[in-house]
Chain A
Amino acid sequence: MTREVQSVILFLVGGALLRISAGDVFMRYVKESMRPWLLISGALLVLAGVFVLIDVVRAARRGDVPDDDPAVVDVDEHAAEGGHDHGHHGPRSAWLLVLPVAAIFLIAPPALGAFTAGREASSVAQPADADVPPLPPGNPVTVMLADYAARAVWDDGRTLKGRTVEMTGFVTPNPKGGWWLTRLQLACCAADAIPTKIHPVGGPESLPANTWVKVVGEWVPGGGTQSDTAIPWVKVDSLAKVEEPRNPYE
């Protein structure tokens, strides 16, 4: 790999990181809190690309052959280890970095949705606090699906009684008919997404997969099973189709 190509690849990877973290696109892949780190690492990679380019230009002015990367003369050229030999110095594996860049710019993979949620059992984490605090005042009150499910399943719905809740999620078709109101939770990146599913009662019979909806409804008594794969119910008072939220995960 020549030094020019190295600089182009550094620009591409750094540029892709900056591009997705400048807007909201990065939230399809990682947590919102990663943004500063993505911006910093993207900027550092672009900067590294600039330095490599300066080297190339300087070498060209001096009339040197710029093909040799001084940092890698003997690191990669182990015939036994290196595999195919193209006769160029430099980390050949770096070519592969074009793949994620191409995926980001060309395919622009969407946030995970019904496909992932449909494959995995719903997961309701036990609240860390044994004494679950009451919901904020006001009706309807906006709650996260994971919060609603934890209150319903682990706390017998004590804090949900008599309240109207508003939840936003996407539609995952239930293979046994009907659908689940669903949201995926990220701990770190989309590879660890865990779904929360809620069974709506009294809403439309079926909706297309991955439709985002805002549901206003009430807790349905029962379902305090204290098991972390339980799917609690919600009685639907009203339902509206909405745009995908800025952050598609919880």
Chain B
Amino acid sequence: MSSTDTSSSTKSGGWRFGPLEALTVGLIALLIGQRWISGLFESPALQAGATIFVSIVVQAMPFLVLGVVLSAAIAAFVPTSFWTRALPKRESLAVPVAGVAGVVLPGCECASVPVAGSLMSRGVAPAAALAFLLSAPAINPVVLVSTWVAFPGNPMMAVARFVASLITSVIMGWLWMRFGRTEWLRIPSRDHLAGRSSWETFRLTATHDFLHAGGFLVIGGLTAAVLNVAVPPSVIDSLAGHALFSVLVLALLAVVLCICSEADAFVAASLSQFSLTARLAFLVVGPMVDIKLVALQAGFFGRRFASRFAPATFVVAVIVSIVVGWWLL
């Protein structure tokens, strides 16, 4: 791993203790202290936390790579004019169209954040890109099939999930159109890449987006692992009895657990002490608002955006789930 240590931070001949040196020293220190560090993780709770942290990051990596490759491809190879032709001119119509278009991205939420960022920087209206961001991880075929498989007794669950997720994402798009302010949203800028070749744009965008988002993914994974180990499941079980309250409890649990949208249906199925509507809220909220996702959104679009958009999405998703659950389940 130190093969890249080519002392290239020698500016104008003089040696300087730069980030590369810091990284090298840090890695050597970690290697020397391995025994001591692994000794710290002997308690079962800490070990379980470390396992969950590594699992969340490892599971998300391929999807994040897919997401940044797609978004870089959009940035580099799809001309801006394509989007103006593909989406309706009127923003209020572009929102539902973009929401439905979420069907085509067969990934989980980690992939959709960079793609939505790329759409915005290519001139797609933010409201439409946000509707896509929310719907894509929830309504794609992989997720719907796994929901259908996880609830053998309730085929309507997959339908309710599709309907509630789509409605929530479209409402959020329209809300952003009506109330969102441009200064809250930091649209990833690619202006400085103008004049570079497509290939170079692709490569630089993908690398940068990965490094950037990866760090936020780590924050999300750490938080989720800590909460997963710190909150005993028995606390959650004891709250299952109250009708409306239980919806809120499972919605919050979805935020905390950060389960991939392709797997959350199986976990929802196992939460059988809760009502179907509460479990629907779990499935609708999870892919749209969870800790790792909010961290990713903060990284891509800025904290001022994430601190407004995520709570609003949570509220809308819970209300829509209750209504759709009452109607369909």
Contact = CB atoms under 8 A, between A and B. Distances in A.
Interface string B14-33: 00001110010011001100
B218 A97 contact: yes
Interface string A90-113: 111111111110111011111111
Interface string B184-228: 001011011100100000011111101110111011011011001
Given A70-B204, A71-B207, A91-B211, A107 B41 contact: yes
Contacts of B150: 125, 187
B6 interface: yes
A242 interface: no
B216 A189 contact: no
Nearest to A29: B55
B79 interface: no
A188 B259 contact: yes
Contact of A4 (B20, B234, B263): B20
Interface in A116-160: 116, 119-121, 123, 125-128
Of A2, A6, A96, A100, most B-chain CB atoms within 10 Å: A100
B81 interface: no
A114 B23 contact: no
A192 B303 contact: no
A171 B54 CA distance: 24
A70 B262 CA distance: 35
Contacts of A29: 51, 54-55, 58-59
A128 B150 CA distance: 8
Q: Is the interface of A mostly helix, strand, loop or mixed?
A: helix
Nearest to B6: A4
A164 to B, nearest CB: 28
Contacts of B57: 100
Interface of A: 1-2, 4-13, 15, 17, 20, 26, 28-30, 34, 37-38, 40-41, 44-45, 48, 51-53, 56-57, 60, 65-67, 69-76, 78, 80-81, 88, 90-100, 102-104, 106-116, 119-121, 123, 125-128, 187-192, 194, 228-229
23 contacts: A4-B20, A8-B1, A11-B1, A28-B51, A29-B55, A29-B58, A45-B210, A56-B8, A70-B196, A75-B189, A78-B302, A93-B216, A97-B214, A100-B221, A103-B54, A109-B51, A110-B51, A125-B269, A128-B149, A128-B152, A191-B228, A228-B270, A228-B272
